[in-house]
Amino acid sequence: MKSFLALLFLFPLAIIAQVSDEEQLKSFYDTSLLEGQSYEWLDHLSNQIGGRLSGSYNAERAVRYTESELKNMGLDRVWLQPVMVPKWTRGPKEYAYIESKPGAVNAVNICALGGSVATPDGGLKTGVIEVKGIEELEKLGREAIQGKIVFYNRPMQANLINTFEAYGGCVDQRYSGAAEAAKYGAAGVIVRSMNLRIDDLPHTGSMSYGDLPAEKRIPAAAISTQDAELLSSMLALDDSIKFYFNQKCQVFPDVQSYNVIGEITGSEFPGQIITVGGHLDSWDLGDGAHDDGAGCVQSMEVLRLFKETGYRPKRTIRVVLFMNEENGLRGGRKYAEVAKEKGEQHIFALESDAGGFTPRGFSFDCSDADFERIQSWKSLFEPYLIHYFEQGGSGADIGPLKGEGVVLAGLRPDTQRYFDHHHAANDTFEHVNRRELELGAATMASLVYLIDKYGTASLQKIKG
């Protein structure tokens, strides 16, 4: 009889536990959608501060603003983590044209790639050779390339549903194209923008010269997809046309900046850390609303939602706004370095760096056992149309935390519109939908809550 009564007692508790999770998730979504703060934070970052290029005055303003807002939230601890970052400036607006014959020119839209050197004084004008990728350089050889501008014109693959996969298929020409072309004596590089649309907006992004000595570095710029099509068409008709571009970007010595960090101390396991974050720096052409102002404010909102709904986490929940993801990843590396030095135990890290679009789910870099555990929570997300749970990558800033037993994850919003704005002048506040942004924040809070409450498979293994 006693065992029967015990079963009757335990059965309702099992139901209550499940209902409790459902109610807690609903509370996150209700609070974010009805009383959210993320959109107001993003409005300030975008419209009162603007583009936050690493090492810039605006990046410093963003550090001070977000530090203040985290303190206003009443977190247990807020601090700045110093990190040395590169400083590169674009200078005056770039100018370029295609010259079909002396005096006959077509102005085109370009922008310097981040980290590029300037053109010679007065600009650079010479012949153009078009390629679809770096691998074509060796086939052409030095004789064909010497003294010319290499025009990389491989488009993103439009039939790939995951646009990040399409981006990954051609971004090497932006990142390494100048270094590789310089080896064959090229005078400069023009790269088709990483954009699935045909429009007039050039998209910047990071590039590297590798170990190329300073005197051999050549200027590199992105050209809009519309003008890439024009240049390609004109070359097909006459390969003797010339291209002119002028840019005055500069590289300066490294300067000090900061990661912005705040946390709620865990009530039971304060030494076990769950990190959620995005990168505070952005490129300078727009105001960095999607990349990655959205991820920063969503991450801040996770901690605010915990406080507003009255949930006291078992483990320490830490928000990190990383500096210098775009052109160096210094913030992510510094955070992981300090964590290792202090012997901190990170069990989970979540990053939002794919825009403030409608959330679809998450990608996880974790063991099969941890992924199986996470998948058991999928039904809790179904009422919010969150369905994408896949093993794969996570986020650039949290990548350096990777280690045995650490689960890494990335928020995965719908990707179809992301590269319309990525690193371009139209990455601005008015292109972020409030409701989509707030849904993303609630989705992140829900996953963090479940990890906090139930732990990871690795922790269970240790406990067992």
Q: Which residues are catalytic?
A: 325
The reply to whether omega before 43 is within 30° of 0 (cis) is: no
Q: Which two tokens stand for residue 175?
A: 């990142």
- Quickly tell me which residue has 């690493």 as its tokens: 54
Please give the Cα distance from 350 to 217 (Å, whole number). 37
What amino acid is encoded at 258 in this protein? Y
Phi-psi region of 187 (alpha: psi -120 to 50; beta: other; left: phi over 0): alpha
- Could you tell me how many residues make up the chain? 464
DSSP string, 331-386: HHHHHHHHHHHHT-EEEEEEE--S-SS-EEEEEEES-HHHHHHHHTTHHHHGGGT-
Non-local CB neighbours of 161 within 8 Å, separated by 6+ positions: none
| Closest to 283 (Cα-Cα) out of 247, 318, 327 | 327
Non-local CB neighbours of 138 within 8 Å, separated by 6+ positions: none
Q: Which two tokens stand for residue 19?
A: 């209902």
Q: What letter would DSSP give residue 224?
A: -
Angle between helices 294-309 and 434-454 (to 10 degrees): 60
- Quickly tell me which residue has 């050197």 as its tokens: 117
Q: Give the three-class secondary structure for 253.
A: strand
8 Å CB contact between 427 and 285: yes
